[in-house]
Amino acid sequence: MTNADLVTLDDFALKFPDDVEASFAEAYGAAHWTEIKKALARPPGYTSVRVNTLVTDQAALVAKLNIALTDFNTRLEAAGRAPIAAKAHPTLPDVVLVPSAPRVSLSVPDIMTRKKIIVDRLCGEAVLRGSDIFARGVMCASSALNPGDDVAILVDLDHKATRGLDAELHTGRKVLIAQGTAAMSRSEMFRAMKGLAVTVTARLCTDAPPLNGVLAGEMYMQNTPSSVVAHVLNPQAGETVLDMCAAPGGKTSHLATLMQNKGTLVACDRSRRKVLEMKSYFDSIGLSIITPIRLDSTQSVLPKEAAVLSVQDVIAAAEKTRTNEKLLPIAGFSPETFDKILLDPPCSALGLRPRLVHACDMSELDQYSNMQRNFLWAAVFLLKPGGTLVYSTCTVNPNENERMVAHALKEYPLELLEQSPVVGAAGLPNMGLTPEQAAKVQRFDPSDAIDTMGFFCAKFTKTKSIRDTTPKPAETEA
């Protein structure tokens, strides 16, 4: 193992293909883009959870979370570290922030004298989010490694190592992210298909408390910008609302909660498995207004020659024809039958944190933009005149954000609306929007002081009917 191929997390910045680097450096400015890449490689300094306000409230959840954090705080105090405490979000009435424990001071030269564990990228990102290491994530390990040995934990950035290789012989790029204690011998790590391999004792970032499964039904772990989106759409009890790309269901359940579980809420996804998982989750927390369906939303607009049916009539007709299926057989909806629509389409996800590798070049990123245009076309046709459309992504790619908004304003009878609440910053300048338009969108910058994932949100109203326009899929742009 050579130091030339090694970098610590403190000095690491995410690297993109050259054409992406050039495009994004021009959009953000080189210095700003470098700060974003550094932030993307690290988790936010807190965990954001959304309150299920149908069963509890923000203050009560803060109190319960602080009780649930007792064991984590006991371990921190035993190690001479300060305890943490959950607190209400200063702007969002149904969001609670749980800070991560401040990182400990580690001696990198000392860590690197220890035996080594090298893990794959996905495992490394999980470690940065608070996970220990399980056998299947281990790629390489030092020879003569035994349970109880202290280890340095590194991530293989090139994904070229042969599983089972001696870590000391690894020659590719690596990033040091943590230290830990082996729970298995070297031979067990590569023989086992599951089981705890390494307990992580300290990370080169903040330590998030384990919250999976905590207060199930009363809270939902959801990044802060994702919780903002439902409030921006502002669905009301009794309205007819569509979530076009709903899986895994977090935003959908938030919409239903804001609607006080009254009205009609359709949740679409093209994956049957994901829709069934959503249905199970919605049923488990008593959200009865949601109709989850397996449907590609780009194909969800019924031809104008078909009889115009309300969303409720479409659902009722499907109920009558259903036999033993778990999901309603719905092929689409009549144009202009939804009051409000949330469109959070598949995107390049360049805003997710932490990320240690991104390999998509600009041609691959452009495929997302083309797909998003098709979703946007369907959304505009399904939305009633005067209705509200919220478009959101979890990417920092301006082509999927500001430039997609510019496309929507040019091609469709849409007008940008002011958003509330405003938690993020204004849109980027010189990306197709006027200064006034850029001020109406929200861009969440990973390098900003609020320390969120990268995210984007725009809110539109539909200014006139297009029912008489022949529905056809949006044409992709070069």
394 a catalytic residue: yes
pLDDT recorded at residue 477:
47
C-alpha 447/C-alpha 303 separation (Å) is 45
| Binding site, annotated residues for S-adenosyl-L-methionine | 245-251, 269, 296, 344
Longest CA span, the chain: 74
C-alpha dihedral over 107, 112, 114, 117, to 10 degrees?
A: 120
Q: Angle 411-415-419 (CA atoms, 0-180°, nearest 5)?
A: 135
C-alpha 84/C-alpha 309 separation (Å) is 53
Q: Compute the 3-state secondary structure of the chain and give helix, strand, coil in percent, each to the nearest 5.
A: 35, 25, 45
Amino acid at position 65, single letter: L
Condensed to tens digits (0 to 9), the pLDDT of residues 126-162 reads 999 989 999 999 999 999 999 999 999 999 998 877 8
Amino acid at position 386, single letter: G
What is the DSSP pairing of strand 150-156 with strand 290-294?
Answer: unpaired
Helix (H, G, I), strand (E, B) or coil at 64: helix
Domains and CATH numbers, the chain: 108-203 (2.30.130.10), 224-462 (3.40.50.150)
C-alpha 9/C-alpha 218 separation (Å) is 35
Element (H, E) at 176: strand 174-182
Q: Where are the beta strands (DSSP E) in 146-297?
A: 150-156, 165-166, 174-182, 196-203, 219-221, 240-243, 264-269, 290-294
Tokens 């539109």: give the residue: 460
DSSP single-letter state for residue 207: B
| Binding site, annotated residues | 245-251, 269, 296, 344
pTM of the model: 0.93
Q: How many CB atoms lie within 10 A of CB 319?
A: 12
Q: How many CB atoms lie within 10 A of CB 38?
A: 17
Helix (H, G, I), strand (E, B) or coil at 179: strand
Gap between the terminal Cα atoms of the chain: 45
C-alpha 65/C-alpha 85 separation (Å) is 8
In tens digits, the chain (478 residues) has pLDDT values of: 556 578 999 999 999 999 999 999 999 999 999 999 999 999 999 999 999 999 999 999 999 999 999 999 999 999 899 999 999 999 999 999 999 999 888 889 999 999 999 999 999 999 999 899 999 999 999 999 999 999 999 999 988 778 999 999 998 889 999 999 999 999 999 998 889 999 999 899 999 998 988 999 999 999 999 999 999 999 999 999 999 999 999 999 999 999 999 999 999 999 999 999 999 999 999 999 999 999 999 999 998 777 889 999 999 999 988 877 889 999 999 999 999 999 999 999 999 999 998 889 999 999 999 999 999 999 999 999 999 999 999 999 999 999 999 999 999 999 999 999 999 999 999 999 999 999 999 999 999 999 999 999 999 999 999 887 765 655 544 3
Catalytic residue among 123, 268, 347, 394: 394
C-alpha 381/C-alpha 470 separation (Å) is 10
**Cβ atoms of residues 157 and 173 within 8 Å:** yes
